[in-house]
Structure 1
Amino acid sequence: MKILLLGQHGQVSQELQRALRGTGELTVLGRDQLDLAQPELIRQQVQRLRPELIINAAAHTAVDQAESEPELAFAINATAPGILAEVAAEMGAPLIHYSTDYVFDGSQVEPYRESDSTNPLSVYGRSKRAGEQAIQAVGGMHLILRTSWVYSQHGKNFLLTMQRLLQERENLSVVDDQIGAPTWASTIAQATAQLIEQWRRGQDGPWGVYHLTAQGETSWCGFAGAIAAYLRSQGKNVATLQPIPSSAYPTPAQRPLNSRLDCSRLQQDWQVQLPDWQAALEQCLRS
């Protein structure tokens, strides 16, 4: 099977490259090979490769930076996925695309289900929601997988930042009123590999939008606390954590306070079991 993976150096893409090894003929295109901000090149490149499956792990993920460059964010996060969906449908190939908890405004008390109304607060969130809508408008075989708080041992993410700051400072203030599920990029990649395998076996569930995060919940401060506990277990001296509200740490882009996603539909329809966030974090740190 010929698989086209868009995105090369991102956290999810790097884990997908490991998880899909041996699954088929994998072609990986990064920004140097295909700039998703240039829509005229997307159709041409994908038609030339004629993949049997397209995975879009590329995105404009600089949440705060997107506030000052909305056109670029929408080109990559909204226009490009729509074009990919069109080409995939023309070739009869499924499209797997990753989205985000930021399509919600976080005002709901309960975890968000796929059927709940979206109301993104930021340019990033609006661009990702527009990408979802562009794919849905085309139809065809597609999976839109919404995830949250992605981290790994490479790239730029909260885990690596905290590992550094906790060992550099005596005191560290971290937001404590945003709640979600830290999700290891490997968890996303392994779940994606399972979805692909079930599709290949003809055991696929309904196509559409699904939530895919680790299980359980915590705050950013709670996430930092778990990282600090691991560092202490390794004999490291770490900073004292000070929980603060979001209002004490203003950012250009507003974040949802409730980023919890209900992932039960993915389990029911595709039998995907997702790990607890603490167990996944420990596995990541020890890997």
Structure 2
Amino acid sequence: MILIFGRNGQVAQELARKAPALRGLGRAQVNLLQPGAAAQAIADHSPNVVINASAYTAVDRAETETAEAQQLNSEAPAEMARTCAERGIPFLHVSTDYIFDGSGSLARSETDPVGPLNVYGHSKLAGEDAVRASGAQALILRTSWVFSAHGGNFVKTMLRLSESRDALSIVSDQIGGPTPAADIAATLLTCARAMQAGQAGGTYHYSGGPAVSWADFAREIFRQAGRHVRVTDIPTADYPTPAARPLNSRLNCAKLKADFGITQPDWQAGLAATLKELGL
């Protein structure tokens, strides 16, 4: 049995759809803000694999809610990983492009230097380090710009704004790979099966291709949805936020393909599937 930490998030919901026999634990089932809760949940369910699809993802609020971000993104995953190490079971953990500083224009590989710009990124990096230090058979999957028909994400925000706006100004100097949550879920399940069969873990990148700006991503959302919204490109400096964002979120996904045979998803196809699910 595969135990999933997370139940209502985008990736967790897609995991549940792809493998209904999974056991998903949301906030009602386990309070990850409480030390010891994750370890107790693993002991109670005795899984063969654990996937952590839970996280504190409110990037701007993390600047002030630092303790919560640290507990959910670092301390809880560390506890999960240590418990998996003790029990000899694989552990898979979802991380983020925000552990990088966003400099340059090349796609980042797994061995490139890290340098998070905000509290959220620091908490996720601390979680990665703790998972690696646990001694578990662990896989860390860094991804970016997640979207789906569920929860809050850029696609749904753009569609909501298009209901009342015919023109929007969108940041154009942040470049990355929009990634369908459904594809992240499929990747995690493929890797989990391979690890159960004895394959080692490690740190991997997985994001949609081709790389695109937020502004061009918005244009494609409106094009596919048939919404007539004019998009004006603006620099990040014209859209200040409490937490700094990386300008370059490109991820090199070659290692995942080499080790697991998993290729980058086509985010435009994923967008079409999401819009269809939303009835558009």
TM interval, short-chain normalised: over 0.9
Letter in 1 for 2:246: P
Indicate the residue corresponding to 1:283 in structure 2. 273
Question: Which SS does the other structure have where 1:154 is aligned?
Answer: coil
Out of 238, 250, 253, the residue aligned to residue 240 of structure 2 is 250
How large is the RMSD of aligned CA atoms in angstroms? Answer: 1.2
Indicate the residue corresponding to 1:37 in structure 2. 33
Indicate the residue corresponding to 2:12 in structure 1. 13
Question: Which SS does the other structure have where 2:233 is aligned?
Answer: strand
Contact 1:211 1:261 in 2 (8 A): yes
Indicate the residue corresponding to 2:117 in structure 1. 121
Contact 1:54 1:93 in 2 (8 A): yes
Q: Using the TM superposition, give the Cα deviation of residue 279 of structure 1 relative to its aligned residue in structure 2, in angstroms.
A: 2.1
Letter in 1 for 2:256: L
Q: 4+ residue stretches of structure 1 with deviation over 2 A? A: 196-202
2:208 and 2:46 map into 1 onto residues whose CA distance is: 33
Indicate the residue corresponding to 1:215 in structure 2. 209
Q: Using the TM superposition, give the Cα deviation of residue 201 of structure 1 relative to its aligned residue in structure 2, in angstroms.
A: 4.4
1:48 and 1:183 map into 2 onto residues whose CA distance is: 33
Contact 1:142 1:207 in 2 (8 A): yes
Which piece of structure 1 moves more, 75-84 or 274-283?
274-283
1:108 and 1:176 map into 2 onto residues whose CA distance is: 15
Question: Which SS does the other structure have where 2:140 is aligned?
Answer: strand
The percentage of counterpart residues that share the same residue type is 46
Indicate the residue corresponding to 1:158 in structure 2. 154
- Is the aligned partner of 1:105 residue 2:95? no
1:1-287 to structure 2, matched below 5 A, reads 2-21=1-20, 25-202=21-198, 204=199, 206-232=200-226, 236=227, 238-287=228-277
1:231 and 1:167 map into 2 onto residues whose CA distance is: 12
Q: Using the TM superposition, give the Cα deviation of residue 79 of structure 1 relative to its aligned residue in structure 2, in angstroms.
A: 0.4
- Structure 1 residue runs without a partner (length 5+): none
Letter in 1 for 2:274: C
Contact 1:6 1:28 in 2 (8 A): yes
Q: Using the TM superposition, give the Cα deviation of residue 95 of structure 1 relative to its aligned residue in structure 2, in angstroms.
A: 0.5
Letter in 1 for 2:172: D
- Structure 2 residue runs without a partner (length 5+): none
2:30 and 2:107 map into 1 onto residues whose CA distance is: 36
After TM superposition, the score normalised by the length of structure 1 is 0.93
Number of positions where the alignment pairs a residue of Structure 1 with one of Structure 2: 277
Contact 2:178 2:207 in 1 (8 A): yes
